[in-house]
Structures are given as C-alpha cells and as structure tokens.
Amino acid sequence: MPEGDSVFRTARRLDALTGQVLTGSDFRIPSLATVDLAGRRVLETVSRGKHLLTRLEDGMTLHSHLKMEGQWVVQMAGRPWKRPEHEARVVLHTETTEAIGFSVLVDLVATQAEDSLVGHLGPDLLGPDWDADEAVRRLRRLPHVPVGEALLDQRNLAGIGNIYRAETCFLAGVDPHTRVDQVTNLPKLVAIAHRLLVAHRDRSSRITTGDRRPGRRLWVYRRQGPCLRCGTPIRTDEIGPEGQERTAWWCPSCQPPRGG
C-alpha cells in the first residue's frame, strides 16, 4: 500500500530518468492519448505527500498518483515488463531506460501550475517544507474530528496512510476515535508520525516494533490476536467521513479513550 515513504522511494527510482532526453512516451488514457513528450529532458522527480511530480525542461510536469495499487517500474529499455501490459497507464522511453506507470493516475500540467494539484496539501512529512508546528495548527482546526480521521486528511499533513495512522496512534497511546481537541499532546503525535516515516524512507519493509519476525513487525496494523505489548485483543473499526471510511486498528488497553 503506497504511503509517503514508498512514494518517496518511487521518486528516487524515477530519478534514473533525470538528465536524460525522452525518446518517446506512450499515454494509455484518453485525455493524453495524443501527447508525445519526445525530445524533452527530464529535470527531476520529487514526491509531495502521496503525489509524484516529474519535471521537464520545457516547463511541463508529469503528475502521477499511485492510488492503492499503482507502481512505477524503472528498468533497462527492452526488458520484459513485470506486470500485465493492460495495467500500464504511461510509458516513458529514453535511449537506455524505460519507466512504466502501472495503475497510476496521471496528468500533465505546466510546472508553474503544480499548486493546482498539490497546493492544498499540508506539510510533507518527508519534504523540505516539513513544519511540525504548521501540521499541529492544521490538525487543531478540526477540534471535533476523530484524530484517526484527521491524520489521514492530507490537507493537515501529507504522507500518512492507514499503516502509519495505526502505528502512530498506538505509539502515542491515543485511541484513533479520540477527538482532536481531546488529544493532550498533539505535538508528540505529529513527532512520532514524522519519526516513523523518516525511519522508513530508505527501507523496503516496515518495522515499527523493532522485531523482524513475521507477524511481529507492526504493533497493530492488520494484527489479528492479542496486543504484542499487553496481550489485550486488538480491535478494529471503520473511521472516516461517510463513503471514505478506512479500517482502524488499536489496542483498547494501550490506547484508552481520551488518551494522549
């Protein structure tokens, strides 16, 4: 499941294109089907929360989002693809490299208009603009919203998904149903989220417990059975705005109601 850390690593993979001139492109979505980026040099790819921005030297940006199942594969030109061809949404070619975006959302905008796509996002947990105080301020604008819902709102802080929502709340001792105005230490919660993403931005596996054994790597996310810390059965519930609910996992003993 792509979260801020995996999107950050994807941007690094796409940096294999940086400095290269595109020899062709193949957009497999109707709105961009006639676009050809051949002849344009790739300047860089940066992540912004869960978004990717591939900037080209002519002032254009290829914007992509991994959604739930999306993936960018970067490989030597001519090699067999690792996923079915019908899942490809865009292919970028250079003389030596091929980048295939599978099951991604993609569009093309002027680089100066990037804010129309990502300007609404809160501070990026893995970005140069990270500002913990601003993230706390944005969370506090939603005093009556469950903190588990507020953490997934990318307008507050960008990069947290369901995994880090669950693990952050556990490590902070906060029930995800707790209203934002009842969390007694929001700066601590935000600091934990930042620490977790920074710790995992260079890792391919997520381990929040320090225990690498299968089934013991995460405290509560998708955990079936007793809490690794206290033995209390892990609970689940759906949290979020109507129609956008996501499953939350928590330990009712380690994360008591109104905890924080």
Cα gap 220→36, rounded to integer Å: 46
Q: Are 158 and 125 in contact (CB under 8 A)?
A: yes
Instruction: HSE, CB side, 13 Å, CA atoms: give it for residue 248.
Output: 26
Candidates 13, 246, 252, 256; catalytic one = 246
Pairing type for strands 60-65 and 51-56 reads antiparallel
Q: Is 187 a catalytic residue?
A: no
Report how far residue 125's alpha carbon sits from residue 130's, in angstroms, rounded to the nearest whole number: 6
250 pairs with which residues across the strands? Answer: 235
Q: Which of 9, 48, 50, 89 is catalytic?
A: 50
55 assigned to active site:
no
DSSP string over 169-183: HHHHT--TTSBGGG-
Q: Rg (Cα) of the chain, in Å, rounded?
A: 20
**Which of these, 10, 88, 2, 1, lies nearest to 46 by C-alpha position?**
10
Q: Is residue 87 annotated as part of the catalytic site, yes or no?
A: no
Q: Is 123 a catalytic residue?
A: no
Nearest to 68 by CA among 163, 145, 150, 140: 163
Q: Which residues are catalytic?
A: 2-3, 50, 246
